[in-house]
Structure 1
């Protein structure tokens, strides 16, 4: 389904009103790309997004890095590298639903300023100020990546396909067979009893989906039927 604006994507929900459970959602490339991008998030960024509660001892590691401060780190930007780094490559995926993340947290890369042809300085880059293994000068020149978008496009999945997202975030191509198989598995006798809702998913919902995915196997139900406001939702029965 098409995005409603640059920072939201549209999602169609299919709900069983009898059990108040969200059975599956119909989604396009934009939402599936967002789901798959979760796999690129470093642990530090995940904890910063969803909070430290429910993350076990990993939260204590996060606190330790914060509390030690730069005086104990090898360089001043290591704290940000550990806690705020993202693995997104904008040539592959532009994370619109992660718009709450400041662009300043993206790791910067540096290269050596030595251009002598006999040196091997051009082979190295660092994600913070460091010293060149070849000439031992400081690596302090910004390294800029240039991404060329080819005919394959940007993101992870193809745009011409409609996808089914089940309550536990399993993703598969949408088809009559996949719908019938799921409803049969869930013992839903009449698809006409289901309700359909179309919603706009933004950064806040994206974070809640990330949080719920680590706490429950009924993620869509928890996020979209867990007391959320209905003001932006259209509801209509399936015919």
Structure 2
């Protein structure tokens, strides 16, 4: 069964927009993980979820790399590097409750066996083969290395509790900015809404966050996923 995250949203009834969402570490970590995802991976993920990302001409560039003859590239590994770029924070993102990368193969970290044994300097590579020789001794990377991250939280503390505004600002519940937020929006009628979101909503939120100033409202109020009456 797919994992889901329960959220509590405060909605402006007049404009039917989210003022903020109250969230614990699970959703905050998912949101922060957006900053770690390479652009090429976002375009690929959008295609897999039938939500093509329209960021200028980036889709054209991505499609060109798909179609270019391999003889124009240094190696086929270069195509993989561009179309399936690795997330440098992947080991942290393994702790996320909702995994956008749940179908992706885990990154294999490769290292030069000679430098691992004989040098204080280490050089790591994501790709096997002749794409990137060791930056220290110029031999080719060939020995696999494993990494682990302790704890169940990815980026924030497990007891973290923050408010997330419609334009994805993170605010402390005790922050005086909340008053300014209500004043600037001219809010006078509000309602609480419980939401229960999964992978599809997170993927839509990621794509919406790239092109919209109100991604929470556009994503979570469009179909009100898992909404329950108060």
TM-score interval for Structure 1 and Structure 2 normalised by the shorter chain: 0.7 to 0.9
Residue 190 of structure 2 is aligned to residue 209 of structure 1: no
CA displacement, residues 148-206 of structure 1 (integer Å, 9 cap, x when unaligned): 527xx6422223232111111111112385544322222223xxx42211112211111
In the TM superposition, residue 116 of structure 1 has moved relative to its aligned partner by: 9.7
Distance 1:134 1:210, change over 3 A: closer
Q: Secondary structure at the match of 1:234?
A: coil
CA contact (8 A) 1:91 1:149 kept: no
Residue 228 of structure 2 is aligned to residue 234 of structure 1: yes
CA contact (8 A) 2:25 2:153 kept: no
Q: Secondary structure at the match of 1:56?
A: coil
In the TM superposition, residue 222 of structure 1 has moved relative to its aligned partner by: 0.6
Structure 2 residues without counterparts, runs of 5 or longer: none
Structure 1 residues without counterparts, runs of 5 or longer: none
**C-alpha distance in structure 2 between counterparts of 1:84 and 1:38, whole Å:** 16
Residue 40 of structure 1: aligned partner: 36
Residue 59 of structure 1: aligned partner: 59
Question: Which protein shows a greater Rg?
Answer: 1
How many residues end up aligned between the 2 structures? Answer: 222
CA contact (8 A) 2:26 2:153 kept: no
Distance 1:197 1:120, change over 3 A: same
Q: Which structure has the higher relative contact order (CA within 8 Å, separation 6+)? A: 2
Residue 183 of structure 2: aligned partner: 184
Residue 112 of structure 1: aligned partner: 112
Q: Secondary structure at the match of 2:211?
A: coil
CA contact (8 A) 1:29 1:162 kept: yes
Residue 124 of structure 1: aligned partner: 123
**C-alpha distance in structure 2 between counterparts of 1:156 and 1:184, whole Å:** 31
> Which of the numbers 217, 222, 227 marks the counterpart of 2:218?
222
Normalised by the length of structure 1, the TM-score is: 0.78
Residue 103 of structure 2: aligned partner: 102
CA contact (8 A) 1:121 1:134 kept: no
In the TM superposition, residue 218 of structure 1 has moved relative to its aligned partner by: 1.2
Q: Secondary structure at the match of 1:85?
A: coil
